[in-house]
Structure 1
């Protein structure tokens, strides 16, 4: 059997690990995402920020800390960055050694909310507590691009990278030590998330250093997928894979806790990955790029998107990662 070709290098400049100057292009935006999970404490972290559709210098951020017992500490905010190469708001993304060592910080406040409330509707307004996060990330491999994402209106460049991490989350004065793994991504270019159908985007990191990324984005209304991208890798490089079969898409909110199975083929070898949800955090996509907290059922929402901490099994090993799945809603312009 011929081993699959492995990609060891990447095409990105060090400057690509920072925010890019806004472009005078219709629909142009930029987003950064970080996810992490600590198996020992059963605590997870998710942060996403993007340039807004109405002012590309203004950043819109959402943050969630996943706590045991279906509890979440959540926050949403806006802010202007101190420079065009830095995000704004309470989040910061630093790259002391681009694509090798990164640091995510959040210094602000959050609400403590039960998962049931967030799955039933938007996050209510209520009392906040202090939230301070610092996560240091060490790359588990080179970043990788996912090819041309322009046909799906997802930007013109998108890369992802897996990491191990250490740090702490201080919530309402209580410090939680974090040690685990996660992933981050960065996208820029014209972007409109409302055009896609249901999708899954699943990442996992495993004790032997392997990791995987599998992404399938259906076309709203049917037809060929907007994106069908799958890789497996480790510190030595990555291998492109093809999707053989899966049951990972969902089309109803009631399926948010459903487990899944994905079968990939790489170099003639079949890889079976199974996953289950540890904690599902619902967000909503509103407008072309904004994310809100909880389940938005208004006409402005195009999708409910579940950013779930997940447990995966692959060839006898157990790993952890992010499972992102969406349930589409009618687009605003299609509602009479």
Structure 2
């Protein structure tokens, strides 16, 4: 038995009561990948109940572009009407629907825009949702769960059908979240049926400290107690080209994984930028796919890029 907090309950698949804080925000995020095409994608729904709006959309990238306007598909809304529920199904005005098939375990996820893309996926978790410890960055005032799983299904983009069979990550969070004050965050994960690894780190210009996360080996989940994320960055653009994760779990077990970038996208926010990179990892002699989310304030990212020219 590990110290994993078995805290996720059926009600956590739905919207939560909110405080009187205007910046209350609740998020539903599902990723999926087609590694042989270097395709990465997110379906993201955010709900600000006190503001009365839904935000989010679908972002899909490959190795042909990195800027939002050049990606194969980019649709991000900031202020649509609130979502509705039809029993266990969240229906978002962004075009996303998320249906709970088995609470905390199995979900059907769809996305339909008005003319270009149609997505039908099923997510089945490898482990129960794992909570971020209360008070831990980057969400010290919010509740947050992460979960890896197998994703199957397909998408149709501009008339082309692309089958999806991958291992990917989803997360859930709820609590106050403003659009200012973002600092640097490293969020790196990888998964296959044998192992899942998630790390949160505090990036620096050299070696980053991993301060929390978890590893799943088979059916056993253990929290991380320390480690490093070493990044080799593009000399001009400052984004991740290669990285190495070396961590220790609560039982003294060690995990080392090395990753090479396959594709990436730049996802801008109001005051921050997130570079999402699809990575091909080597771990225990196996090839495993995952993602790195490299978050900067726009000011920090601008300085880092200008110092390299």
TM bracket (short chain):
0.7 to 0.9
Q: 1:160 Cα deviation (Å)?
A: 0.6
Unmatched 5+ stretches in structure 2: 66-70, 301-309
Aligned-residue offset at 1:80 = 2.3
Number of aligned residues: 287
Distance 1:212 1:34 in 2: 17
Q: In structure 1, how many angstroms separate the alpha carbons of the residues matched to 2:179 and 2:294? A: 13
- 1:211 paired with 2:216, answer no
Gaps of 5+ in 1: 110-128, 220-224, 287-301, 332-336
Structure 1 residues 188, 217: closer, same or farther in 2, change over 3 A?
A: farther
- Aligned counterparts, 1:85-234, within 5 A: 87-109=92-114, 129-149=115-135, 152=138, 155-192=141-178, 194-206=180-192, 208-217=193-202, 228-234=211-217
Question: CA 1:252–1:102 in 2, change beyond 3 Å: closer, same or farther?
Answer: farther
- Give the drift of 1:61: 1.0
Q: Which residue of 1 aligns with 2:74?
A: 74
Partner in structure 1 of residue 34 of structure 2: 38
Task: Output aligned runs, 1:280-319, within 5 Å.
Answer: 280-286=264-270, 302-319=271-288
Asked whether the 8 Å contact 1:59–1:79 carries over to 2, the reply is yes
User: Alignment partner of 2:237: what SS?
Assistant: helix
Distance 2:157 2:291 in 1: 22
Distance between the aligned counterparts of 1:238 and 1:88, measured in 2? Answer: 36
| C-alpha distance in 1 between matches for 2:220 and 2:6 | 10
For normalisation by structure 2, the TM-score amounts to 0.82
Shift of 1:258: 2.0
Is it true that 1:327 corresponds to 2:306 in the alignment?
Answer: no
Change (3 A) 1:58 1:22: farther
* Separation in 2, partners of 1:134, 1:186: 20
**Relative to 1, partners in 2 of residues 1:27 and 1:176: Cα closer, same or farther, differing over 3 Å?**
same
Query: How has the CA–CA distance of structure 1 residues 227 and 24 changed in structure 2, closer, same or farther, with 3 Å as cutoff?
Result: farther
User: CA–CA distance in 2 between the matches of 1:97 and 1:188?
Assistant: 20
Q: Which of 256, 274, 281 in structure 1 is aligned with 2:239?
A: 256
Structure having greater relative contact order (Cα 8 Å, sep ≥ 6): 1
2: CA distance between counterparts of 1:262 and 1:232? Answer: 12
